[in-house]
Amino acid sequence: MKKILAFAEQRDGILKGSSFEVISKASKIAKELNAELITAVIGDEVSNLLTAGEYGAELVHFYHHPQLNRYVPKAYRDSLLDLIRSEDVEIVLLPNTTQGRDLAARLAAHLNAALISDCTVLTVENGELIATRPIYSGKAFEVVKAKTAMQIYTLRPNVFPPEKVKWKISVATIPVEQPDFSIDVIEEIKSTGKLDVAEANIIVSGGRGLKEAANFHLIEELAEVLGGAVGASRAVVDAGWRPHGEQVGQTGKTVSPNIYIACGISGAIQHLDGMSSSKTIIAINKDKDAPIFNIADYGITGDLFEILPFLTSELKKSAATD
């Protein structure tokens, strides 16, 4: 029987939302291919591990070590290689996150496997997987079929809605005896308490139109009211206004939220590449000819210093009356 491996990424001991998307999609594919699904988790203590069963995970291999709650490239790679080889896994699915992309490439190199990254559609046709992925900065999409027996796919977050099925889950805890720490992460610098733009359903992004870093409070306030994440263009990140973790675009993070609000962002092709698959795009810019309006579902031409406070105020009023 064909075997499929879903890698469930955890961060700080909690499985990420993109992991449930991968498990759910892998479960559907396994049914269509009459294959066995195996889920892999690597870490120390994962508080919501059993939740994976609600999205189709039946058998979970939990590779355990006190120092693996953070991503250790070679240790993670070796654990998955052992599982893939011992179980004769043919298909591996991972989230298209920073960690997932790095890990997928390492696995593909060692397994001589085809790697198809950033998939936005993954279907089964005549017993084979067919993937669709964006190319040319999102201007076009290509349909791809792997030719190798061993195949690895990364799935874009927020594109594959997870469906609850409530399987009975079985967890096999496997101690990692001697992890390879020749490459190790010694420090992670992140925005404490803030949503990750890669997985947020609502993102409010700011660009050079905000004029200076101090004005980003307008973005933060609107994002807070909406329960969304703060994003930024490369220009403001390069200027030191915002941390790189908030950067959306070709050299930042690729996002697919339900709502993306671009404020003072002209719409350079590198930025569009990272957010063009958003479900609904709202652009606010004083330049009516800004390229961002070409892909926006809704556009507001005007002064963002007047528009953003007004939007935030009206949303607060609406929330107060609910």
115: left (phi over 0), alpha (psi -120 to 50) or beta: beta
Residue pLDDT, tens place only, 215-259: 999 999 999 999 999 999 999 999 999 998 899 998 888 899 999
Q: Contact 263/209 with Cβ under 8 angstroms?
A: yes
Domains 3-175 and 202-321 belong to one CATH topology = yes
> What is the residue-averaged pLDDT of the chain?
93
Q: Which of 155, 150, 183 is nearest to 76 (CA)?
A: 183
Q: Contact 292/266 with Cβ under 8 angstroms?
A: yes
Q: Contact 28/61 with Cβ under 8 angstroms?
A: no
**DSSP codes joined into one string, 123-163:** EEETTEEEEEEEETTTTEEEEE---SSSEEEEE-TTSS---
pTM of the model: 0.83
What is the pLDDT averaged over residues 169-178? Answer: 94
The matching CATH number, chosen from 2.30.30.60, 3.50.50.60, 3.40.50.1220, 3.30.300.30, for 202-321 is 3.40.50.1220
What is the distance between the alpha carbons of residues 45 and 43, in angstroms, rounded to a whole number? 6
Taking 60 as the threshold, does the pLDDT of residue 193 lie above it?
Answer: no
pLDDT at residue 317, rounded to an integer: 87
Taking 70 as the threshold, does the pLDDT of residue 322 lie above it?
Answer: no
**Which sequence spans correspond to the domains of the chain?**
3-175, 202-321
- CATH, domain range 3-175: 3.40.50.620
